[in-house]
Chain A
Amino acid sequence: SQTIHQWPATLVQPVGSPLSLECTVEGTSNPNLYWYRQAAGRGLQLLFYSVGIGQISSEVPQNLSASRPQDRQFILSSKKLLLSDSGFYLCAWSSGSGNEQFFGPGTRLTVL
């Protein structure tokens, strides 16, 4: 069966520090991968998605970036965090565009 992992589970970082969040999927190959953010009191928002290694689509302009160095690995990064980057970050995968998406456990990021 397929499983999706995210780490770390929680993170507290100072403003201006770098960020790296990792997501990995097991039990499937060539998944579509997604990064979402849920800010406090707001709905989920798609940040990036990837349909293959090295292929990244950005939905929202911001100081975040994403990379997919391996088939089942998706990384969310920032060079300098802002206060507004605080939120709950969720990774998800699907077997193809338009298919059901399955979510990871999430990373709660607090920028101070």
Chain B
Amino acid sequence: KNEVEQSPQNLTAQEGEFITINCSYSVGISALHWLQQHPGGGIVSLFMLSSGKKKHGRLIATINIQEKHSSLHITASHPRDSAVYICAVTLTYNTDKLIFGTGTRLQVFP
């Protein structure tokens, strides 16, 4: 079993829909990251959070430390949101080490 699990693996949506991507982890963490990878391969850091909730534009990330679970929400989705979304965690015993989920491929159609 992977230490970081994401669901769903693939997601398709119509423009304007509300989207939720889930991430569960089984290790002790100091922080959780949400990353976005575009088709060319480049990766952008969206959020780094250790508790509660963060919002940036149409993106919202939440984390429940007790349940070891995080969600990434996209409101009013747009075709330009199409990308792979990756959850990663920073380990408490080695804060230089990120453990990654395998990603969720999102396609938003107009």
Set of chain B residues within 8 Å of A88, measured between Cβ atoms: 41
Write out the residue numbers on chain B whose beta carbons fall within 8 Å of the beta carbon of A57. Answer: 96
Q: Are the C-beta atoms of B96 and A32 separated by less than 8 Å?
A: yes
- Return B49 CB to nearest CB of chain A, in Å: 10
* A88 CA / B31 CA spacing, docked (Å): 25
When A98-B95, A102-B45 are in contact, do A44 and B90 touch as well, CB less than 8 Å?
Answer: no
Among the stretches B17-25, B67-75, B98-106, the one at the interface with A is B98-106
- The prevalent SS among residues of A at the interface is strand
Cβ contact within 8 Å between A100 and B33: yes
Residue among B41, B42, B90, B100 with most chain A CB within 10 A: B41
User: Chain B: which residue is nearest A51 at the CB level?
Assistant: B96
Within 8 A of A (CB), among B33-91: 33, 35, 40-45, 48, 86, 88, 90
Q: For residues 42 through 60 of chain A, which have their beta carbon under 8 Å from a beta carbon of chain B?
A: 42-46, 49, 51, 57, 59
Residues of A within 8 A of B97 (CB): 46, 49, 59
Contact in complex: A98, B31 (CB < 8 Å): yes
Which of chain B's residues have a CB closer than 8 A to the CB of A105? 40-42
